[in-house]
A and B are shown apart, each in its own frame.
Chain A
Amino acid sequence: MWKYFLRRVLQMIPVILGTTLLIYALVFALPGDPVVAMFGDKPVNQAIAQQIRAEYHLDQPFIIQYFYFLKNALTFDFGNTLRGNRPVIDVMAAAFPVTIRLGLMAFVFEAIFGVIFGIVSGLKKGKWYDSVILIVSLLLISVPTFVTGFVMQYFLGVQWHIFPVTAGANPGFIDLLMPAMVLGSTSMAYIIRLTRTEVASNRTLDYVRTARAKGLSNRSVIVNHILRNSLIPVVTYLGADLGALMGGAMISERIFNINGIGNTLYKAILQGESNLVVSIVTVLVLIFVVCNLAVDMLYAALDPRIRYA
């Protein structure tokens, strides 16, 4: 188990290096000189510009710049924003908590409802509620999240006043409920489909029949054999999705006006804050990679065949 863990961690390193390099390269291939942009409408003072370039290693070759970035990132020093000169780490620290809360709420929502509906559907194939669940999940997948968001905002917020229409500055649990449902809706639909397929196919496996032949009650067979084995791939999917949710929060945050990391990233992109963009995306990717690693560990814990391979 530990050997497996160590191997996975080691495999993660080149992926993180490669991914950050990829993002860094993409963002800094940006047309336009960020230093010039700093001056805004004022005339550019070449001497000061040069000084700034040296300070941020912008006069160095690209790959060197990357290594400086990497070195600083390891000490959580992501530099300052170009406008306002705020430390990037502070900007992120201000925006991340609400996104993490939103992401976790969405995660809990999609996990609970996705798995429950998936199990019900998989066990009772062909019943009317199976068809309903299936159609709803298909709809959720084919309608873009932002449309789902608008529709829910319109009906649940504007028309029926069940939830607050927007979240506002310091959103509480209730404020984030609808945004979280919107954020988790597509994944929930995928989880329903995955769980349903797994449950339905596991039901006919040989060892399930053997378990019945042993005299086990229908309940134990379903809980201990069908569900336990069906949920392994579902858990894997969920774990990987937790990382992706943070990145996907942008849509939900835009619609419900939440000042989370997604909105911050969106604004940073519009304003050409390349340093902020790289830093946020790097952190998001790191979260994604770490979640994937956690999933692998979880997978190994759930399935002994992986553990000993």
Chain B
Amino acid sequence: MTNTISALPGQERYVAPIEETPLRAVDAVDTDAPATSMWADAWRTLRKNPLFIIAALVILFIAFVAVFPRVFTNLDPNYCTLDNSRGAATAGHPFGFDLQGCDIYARVIYGTRTSLTVGIATTLIVILLGGIIGAIAGFFGGWIDSILSRIVDIFYAVPLLLGAIVVLQMFRSSTSIWKIILVMAMFGWVSIARIARSSVLEAKNLEFNTASTALGSTPMRNLFRHIIPNALAPVLVVGTTSLASYIVLEATLSFLGLGMPSGNVSWGGDISTAQTMLRTQPMILFYPSAALAITALAFIMLGDAVRDALDPKSRTE
């Protein structure tokens, strides 16, 4: 090795002028930036995401329609006369009439509430049930985890649609919309439980839990104060996206004649009855389908946007 006394060209001793390379304090704190938590950070990202803005506006609008249908129509969706059967659009009836002669516009407006209720209620139950079971399995581990995981496996082996069909056909006489919510929740909680379990497991192994234990915290306190808040994000993201799939599934079940009892106005039910007129009057099928698709799309887009904001790694843009 050459221990160069005289340096090679371009390797002479060089010291940058100090004015051009000012030194800063070691590890100075930047006190100007606004305070951000993971959630505040996510919110800031979301606000700039057009996908999120569109989705959020659509959802707000849909929610408004669901709560105040009368603002949009003063017609009764269940007031149907066969005189109007398959009537074309007229003033005051922009979408026309269906086979029974009900006003399609009014039915689409009132169907919003059913779909949204089903989607939101199912998602809430699923998140609670799946979240708690998954959290218990992940947190306690050992034999509790083994048993719960096997139960999850058993429910997971029944495809959602099949399971729902089998159960719903027993309650065909019931007229409550809760039956469909409960049945979907019964087979839907497993996917949330799996996610909750793995994210609790992940959060449990993070060092701040050990740190808190060493500070004197109890395992239970750790679970509620540290683990659950940190494991929440993936569960919420999947929950939002699956809300859309519950709305779609409810429609599918209605299509099979197993969904909403006839007294309820439901998009799925209307699509189902419209199928017979597909060849002659496809628009009867179009309106409720479009309403359904827009609603589902908005929730999927919201879920995507929230996921991207919370986990920049999986960003789709």
Contacts and interface: CB of A to CB of B under 8 A. Distances in A.
A307 to B, nearest CB: 21
Contacts of B272: 146
Contacts of A101: none
Interface in A14-72: 14-16, 18-19, 22-23, 26-27, 29-31
A220 to B, nearest CB: 25
B313 A247 contact: no
A251 B275 CA distance: 13
A22 B282 contact: no
A22 B158 contact: yes
Contacts of A289: 157
Interface of B: 150-151, 153-155, 157-159, 161-162, 165-167, 169-170, 244-245, 248, 251-252, 255-258, 268, 271-272, 275, 278-279, 282, 285, 289, 292-297, 300-301, 313-314, 316-317
A269 B172 CA distance: 11
A63 to B, nearest CB: 16
B278 A153 contact: yes
Contacts of B157: 15-16, 19, 285, 288-289, 292
19 contacts: A29-B170, A138-B297, A138-B300, A141-B300, A142-B293, A142-B295, A142-B296, A143-B248, A144-B255, A144-B289, A146-B255, A146-B271, A150-B275, A150-B278, A154-B279, A201-B314, A247-B162, A250-B161, A281-B162
B169 A269 contact: yes
A163 interface: no
Nearest to A292: B157
Contact of A285 (B162, B245, B295): B162
A299 interface: no
A85 B292 CA distance: 42
B256 A254 contact: yes
B292 A143 contact: yes
B151 to A, nearest CB: 7
A126 interface: yes
A142 B162 contact: no
A151 B292 CA distance: 14
Interface string A257-285: 00000000110011000000100010011
B154 A22 contact: yes
B289 A147 contact: yes
Contacts of B295: 142
B159 A288 contact: yes
Given A142-B295, A288-B159, 10 more contacts: A11-B153, A14-B153, A19-B157, A22-B155, A31-B170, A141-B245, A142-B244, A248-B159, A254-B256, A266-B256
A197 interface: yes
B309 to A, nearest CB: 15
